[in-house]
């Protein structure tokens, strides 16, 4: 028995028979974090409202309010709370009511302690596992935000490299000409032209600086989390992602074909959806580099039916091996180089698409590459 879960739990125990109640009380107190005792259904309901225990263990036949009716009222207050019912009766009517209520277990008296502890363990374990799963999701989401920040910084640095290099060359050339007396300022005509020449160079540098600032603004908008669902054109969002992606592709020979056939809209977190598209595009780009693919190509397509918009992003980077294709959406699983991969991107993409947008994200190998498919609910005009 996993007593760790029980030791973290609070239990409401409702029993009208004094001897049974005292006997089980001594046993249960050693197993759970906190035990609340009630002598009948009315007292049990009052204790539940006051203490909000993690789960309930109750007899059926009791004065004032029987166990079934108490359980019904408790479930009205908390539909998910685990409830275990005990009874000295094998009457099927009690069992049918318990089944209809959806209790977690039904035990016949006299109670076998092994069966009781097993029932308690099973009833509370699922709740704790769900809580741990939610905590893990929050932790992974927190980590993924840092990963996205690193990715954004990397993309900004990449896009800044060329204009910074141009600024550096312009300044170096200007300073070198000054040092070598290329500007004959003793010449009246040159003196007249020199201020205009300096201004022209400074204006060109200022233009590059504006480009650098615009890069920050552009990526900051993409990577800022959306706080609400928006009805957006999927084609426009994909085009936005493509523009940002192409800005990082200076001096590469990647060919991108887009066939955006869907005119439908969908309710999405716009910036997160753009991030997902960027993540899939960047995955393809990294595989092109890693595998030294000749004539790299990405095909992007949107199409729709009455219910869904389907977005596919396909590359020709050699596909995903059968050994790992079922694992690539697992948290912390990464096919990238150890220094570059954190394994959060695809997991978070699937989490956002399937849990927050009620869509579906899948992958398959097609011809000479991997094809990622996103399905979202379509809003037709």
Distance (Å, rounded) from C-alpha 15 to C-alpha 22?
Answer: 9
- The CA-atom distances, in angstroms, between 339 and each of 238, 343, 349 are 28, 11, 21
Q: What is the pLDDT of residue 341?
A: 43
What per-residue confidence (pLDDT) applies to 1?
A: 40
Residues 6+ apart with CB under 8 A from 357: 266, 267, 268, 269, 273, 376, 377
| pLDDT value of residue 119 | 82
User: What does the alpha-carbon distance between residue 299 and residue 249 come to, in Å, rounded to a whole number?
Assistant: 16
Overall pTM surpassing 0.85 (yes/no): no
The rounded distance, in Å, linking the Cα atoms of 8 and 128 is: 9
Q: Note the pLDDT of residue 334.
A: 61
CA distances from 253 to 246, 250, 292, 319 (A): 11, 9, 12, 19
Cα distance between residue 88 and residue 232, in whole Å: 60
What integer pLDDT is reported at residue 162 of this predicted model? 60
Average pLDDT for runs of 10 along the chain of length 381: 72 90 88 91 93 90 88 89 80 66 77 82 77 68 58 61 70 76 75 78 74 61 63 90 75 84 88 84 86 92 91 93 85 51 64 85 92 91 64
Distance CA 171, CA 286 (A): 34
How far CA 306 is from CA of 71, 230, 270, 359, in Å, comes to: 44, 20, 22, 14
Amino acid 47: pLDDT: 94
Looking at residue 150, its pLDDT comes to 59
Give the whole-angstrom CA distance, residue 60 versus residue 86: 6
| Cα separation, 38 vs 47, whole angstroms | 7
């Amino acid at each position: 028995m996993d007593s760790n879960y029980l030791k973290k739990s609070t239990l409401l125990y409702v029993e009208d028979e004094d001897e049974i109640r005292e006997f089980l009380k001594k046993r249960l107190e050693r197993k759970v974090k906190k035990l609340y005792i009630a002598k009948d259904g009315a007292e049990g309901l009052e204790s539940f409202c006051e203490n909000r225990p993690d789960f309930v263990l109750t007899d059926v036949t009791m004065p004032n309010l029987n166990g079934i009716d108490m359980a019904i009222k408790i479930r009205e207050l908390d539909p998910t709370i685990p409830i275990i019912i005990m009874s000295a009766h094998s009457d099927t009517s009690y069992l049918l009511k318990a089944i209809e209520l959806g209790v977690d277990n039904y035990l016949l008296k006299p109670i076998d302690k092994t069966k009781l502890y097993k029932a308690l363990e099973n009833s509370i374990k699922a709740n704790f596992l769900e809580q741990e799963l939610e905590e893990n999701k929050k932790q992974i989401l927190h980590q993924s935000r840092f990963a996205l920040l690193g990715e954004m910084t990397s993309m900004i640095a990449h896009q800044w490299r060329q204009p910074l290099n141009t600024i550096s060359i312009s300044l170096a050339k200007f300073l070198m000409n000054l040092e070598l007396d290329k500007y004959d300022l003793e010449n009246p005509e040159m003196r007249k032209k020199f201020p205009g020449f300096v201004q022209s160079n400074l204006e060109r540098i200022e233009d590059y600086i504006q480009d650098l600032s615009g890069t920050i603004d552009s990526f900051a908008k993409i990577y800022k989390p959306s706080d609400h669902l928006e009805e957006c054109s999927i084609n426009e969002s994909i085009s936005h992602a493509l523009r940002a992606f192409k800005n990082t592709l200076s001096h590469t020979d990647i060919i991108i074909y887009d066939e955006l056939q869907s005119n439908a809209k969908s309710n999405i977190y716009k910036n997160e959806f753009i991030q997902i598209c960027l993540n899939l595009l960047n995955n393809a780009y990294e595989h092109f580099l890693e595998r030294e693919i000749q004539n790299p190509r990405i095909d992007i397509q949107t199409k729709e039916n009455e219910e869904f918009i389907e977005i596919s992003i396909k590359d020709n980077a050699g596909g995903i091996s059968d050994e790992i294709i079922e694992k690539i959406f697992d948290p912390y699983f990464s096919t990238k180089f150890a220094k570059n991969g954190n394994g959060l991107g695809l997991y978070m993409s699937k989490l956002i698409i399937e849990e927050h947008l009620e869509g579906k994200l899948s992958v398959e190998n097609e011809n000479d590459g991997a094809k990622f498919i996103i399905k979202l609910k379509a809003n037709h005009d």
